[in-house]
Amino acid sequence: MGKEDDRGEEYLFKIVLIGDSAVGKSNLLSRFSRDEFDTNSKATIGVEFQTQLVEIEGKEVKAQIWDTAGQERFRAVTSAYYRGAFGALIVYDITRSDTFQSVKPHCDTAVAQMLVGNKCDLEDIRAVSVEEGKALAEEEGLFFMETSALDATNVDKAFEIVIREIFNNVSRKLL
């Protein structure tokens, strides 16, 4: 959703987090929005979002980032979750191949999409190579980044690239 007002422009972008249970979606969001990591992750029922302010080219952008909040465990994530999303972070866990296999069907959800291989701090038990991640992202036309919500590697960067890409798309349309 991009909207304009008389004083200039205001931007509100819906971004969704997608991926199997326990890949680290909630922690990526808490790292980005509050710079926190939560080891005792609790599955909240019901979709939740957090709004984060980002400044791009002197403009205030509100990123409304939606987390499935445990609903993927019950396969209850519906089309309402994806509706109106301008961006998506499609997350897998680099230590679990099954979570990498799961991402492909989700690769056409939104305008700006980033494939995210999370838990890159766990190099010793890596099961999905960087090359595999890159190759899938290239095939599907997505940005790609490996992150760690635990040690904060690339977390802000991943969100910001998606937000900036949406901003660029939206401002092109407003011209």
Q: Is 71 in the site for ligand GDP (CB under 6 A)?
A: no
Q: What is the DSSP letter of 131?
A: H
| C-beta closer to ligand GDP: residue 121 or 165 | 121
Tell me the C-alpha distance between 86 and 169, whole Å: 10
Within its chain, how far is the Cα of 57 from the centroid?
A: 21
C-beta of 93 vs 142, nearer to ligand GDP: 93
> Going by DSSP bridges, is the β-strand pair 87-93/59-67 parallel, antiparallel, or unpaired?
unpaired
* Contact between 105 and 80 (Cβ < 8 Å): no
- Per residue in 87-104, is it b (16+ CB within 10 Å) or e — as a string? bbbbbbbbbbeebbebbe
Kindly write out the interface string for residues 143-162 of this chain, putting x where it contacts ligand GDP by CB under 6 A and - elsewhere. Answer: -----xxx------------
Q: In angstroms, give the least distance from the CB of 41 to ligand GDP.
A: 3
Among 18, 23, 107, 170, binds ligand GDP (CB under 6 A): 23
Binder among 14, 15, 27, 116 for ligand GDP (CB under 6 A): 27
Which residues lie near ligand GDP (CB under 6 A)?
19, 21-27, 39, 41, 118-119, 121-122, 148-150
